[in-house]
């Protein structure tokens, strides 16, 4: 298996070329062979040619060494003027690592102002990085943060009387928030998210939401934590073909830690507390 990479057109052509050259040197007359040798060794023809009359093998050896030298010299010249190519990792980079670390450190503290600052810094930075992944302006990207509220958190939210809270079932409620104030979640968005939470895969996308929900959205991407739901992130696109395989793989790698952050109850409680007090 490890030699398979050598079995391509370039290497096969090179091998055939070498055999053709050997056959050529074996069949050429001495006069023609001298001409080939003189052409290959043109800088040194006058000095070396008289000593190469006796053996056909010597002609072949000298020509081979000269061609090898020329190839090495040409490759060296090309590398001299060629810009170095940075190797690209086959795995997309994770994003917001420093913001996540700062947020988790802040959650362990008792400083509410610091906690709130680090949480919103992470959320905004993540939105920005996702917009870059999908090559969109951040103001045009409809990204929704989705959190599961418990009874106490819901009681606090009632006082807000805000449409961003949505009953998921008879026992639980969702907080659906977009940090972009001009892109508030619609009823269709909420139905799509409720449907997404019923799917077994914590990371998935769908390009049939127009047919399934008969609304303005065309494509949808969602990621949530493993196990009992607490934290999710949704992207909704009004245009088709916004999601490519490359962009989807990048997003899945970038958002993979959300599947674990939702398992940190202290973090999700404080995210909900911050959103209730500062965002909603």
Distance CA 48, CA 50 (A): 6
Distance CA 271, CA 274 (A): 5
Distance CA 181, CA 185 (A): 10
Quick check: 26 pLDDT over 70? no
The residues, ordered by sequence, that sit 6+ positions from 217 with a Cβ below 8 Å of its Cβ are 188, 189, 192, 209, 210, 236, 237, 238
Classify residue 254 as exposed, middle or buried by CB count within 10 Å of its CB (0-12, 13-18, 19+): buried
Classify residue 54 as exposed, middle or buried by CB count within 10 Å of its CB (0-12, 13-18, 19+): exposed
Q: How far is CA 2 from CA 6, 16, 158, 257, in A?
A: 9, 22, 64, 35
The residues, ordered by sequence, that sit 6+ positions from 274 with a Cβ below 8 Å of its Cβ are 115, 116, 119, 120
Most confident of 60-69, 121-130, 164-173: 121-130
CB–CB of 204/190 below 8 Å?
Answer: no
Amino acid 109: pLDDT: 82
Name the pLDDT band for 4 (thresholds 50, 70, 90). Answer: very low
Name the pLDDT band for 90 (thresholds 50, 70, 90). Answer: very low
Q: Domain extents for the chain? A: 4-81, 97-279
Q: What is the 3-state secondary structure (H, E, C) of 55-95?
A: CHHHHHHHHHHHHHHHHHHHHHHHHHHCCCCCCCCCCCCCC
Q: What pTM was estimated for this model as a whole?
A: 0.63
What DSSP element (H or E) covers 38?
helix 30-40
pLDDT tens-digit readout, 183-222: 788 888 988 999 999 888 898 888 877 777 878 888 999 9
Which has the higher per-residue pLDDT, 64 or 107? 107
pLDDT tens-digit readout, 211-263: 778 788 889 999 999 888 999 999 999 888 888 999 999 999 888 888 889 88
Residues in the chain: 280
Fold of 97-279: Beta-Lactamase (3.30.450)
């Amino acid at each position: 298996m490890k030699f398979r990479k050598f079995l391509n057109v370039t290497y096969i052509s090179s091998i055939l070329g070498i055999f053709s050259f050997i056959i050529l040197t074996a069949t050429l007359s001495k006069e023609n062979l001298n001409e080939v040798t003189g052409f290959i060794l043109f800088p040194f023809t006058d000095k070396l040619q008289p000593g190469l009359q006796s053996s056909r093998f010597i002609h072949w050896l000298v020509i081979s060494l000269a061609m090898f030298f020329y190839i090495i010299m040409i490759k060296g010249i090309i590398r001299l003027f060629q810009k170095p190519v940075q190797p690209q990792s086959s795995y997309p980079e994770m994003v917001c690592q420093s913001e996540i670390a700062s947020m988790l450190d802040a959650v362990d503290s008792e400083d509410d102002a610091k906690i709130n600052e680090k949480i919103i810094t992470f959320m905004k930075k993540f939105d920005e990085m996702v917009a870059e992944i999908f090559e969109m302006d951040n103001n045009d990207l409809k990204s929704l943060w989705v959190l599961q509220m418990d009874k106490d958190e819901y009681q606090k939210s009632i006082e807000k009387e805000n449409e961003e809270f949505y009953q998921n079932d008879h026992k639980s409620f969702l907080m659906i928030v977009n940090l972009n104030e001009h892109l508030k979640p619609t009823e269709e968005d909420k139905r799509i998210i409720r449907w997404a939470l019923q799917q077994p895969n914590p990371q998935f996308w769908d390009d049939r939401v127009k047919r399934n929900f008969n609304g303005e959205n065309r494509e949808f991407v969602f990621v949530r934590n493993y196990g009992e739901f607490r934290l999710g992130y949704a992207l909704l696109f009004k245009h088709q073909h916004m999601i490519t395989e490359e962009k989807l793989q990048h997003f899945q790698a970038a958002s993979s830690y959300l599947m674990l952050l939702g398992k940190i109850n202290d973090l999700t409680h404080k995210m909900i507390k911050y959103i209730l007090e500062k965002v909603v």
